[in-house]
Structure 1
Amino acid sequence: MEDDKKNENPKQQINVELTDEIAEGIYSNLAMIAHSHSEFVVDFIRLMPGIPKAKVKARIIMTPDHAKRLLGALKDNIEKYEQAFGKIESGHEPPQFPVNFGGTLGEA
């Protein structure tokens, strides 16, 4: 009878579709996060040098449980990245607006 229980719940396989458009990805160099009691909202934003207006390029809405799972997955992946490529040096100050990307400013 124990063998019957093992066969009742086989691991479910999920097929994930990735369209060509989504596979290209969206570049973001800023994320803003907000939350309510039932959801987390993450806006991925692209800041461009010399342009004071930034656009939200993607918005992801998730449950608090999924947000916490994402946090764990990011932590795990950052640890693996740093083991393979070395420590990621991050700035200790929040970004200043407008963001200076280095180099000289262009003129038209």
Structure 2
Amino acid sequence: MTETTPFGIDLELDETVAEGHYSNLAIISHSTSEFIIDFAAVLPGVQKARVKSRIILTPEHAKRLLRSLQENIVRYESNVGKIVIPVPSSPGDTGPKMGQA
């Protein structure tokens, strides 16, 4: 399956990749030359999380991704409503958080 982006680039997206992976945990690390984002899913009562996808970016592209996410969240909230991040109700309620370093 091929899609044309607003930038005029044809993207090829095969069916397996198009299915995607669910993630409720992102681990972000970096060196002087790259940012690494590991996406995983943590299930209740399971102590082990398997990384489903790893994305490696240059610092410049990581910053572009940050800006793009910020712009898209602003658009989402203006159309759908504010995204509320719940505050843990007890010290034991510290489940996975997106963006953990």
List alignment gaps of at least 5 residues for structure 1: 1-11, 100-108
Q: Give the RMSD, CA atoms, in angstroms.
A: 1.7
Separation (CA, whole Å) in 2 of partners of 1:67 and 1:21: 25
| CA shift digits 1:36-67 (9 cap, x unpaired) | 00000000010011111111110000000000
Q: TM-score, normalised on structure 1?
A: 0.73
Q: Which has the higher contact order (CA 8 A, sep 6+)?
A: 2
Q: TM-score, normalised on structure 2?
A: 0.78
List alignment gaps of at least 5 residues for structure 2: 1-6, 97-101
Partner SS, residue 37 of structure 2? strand
Aligned ranges 1:1-108 → 2 under 5 Å? 13-92=8-87, 96-97=94-95
Q: Whose strand fraction is larger, Structure 1's or Structure 2's?
A: 2
Counterpart AA for 1:59: R
Cα deviation for residue 92 of structure 1 reads 4.1
Structure 1 segments, 4+ long, off by >2 Å, are none
Cα deviation for residue 96 of structure 1 reads 2.0
Size of the aligned set, in residue pairs, is 86
The structure having more radius of gyration, on CA atoms, is: 1
Separation (CA, whole Å) in 2 of partners of 1:91 and 1:55: 25
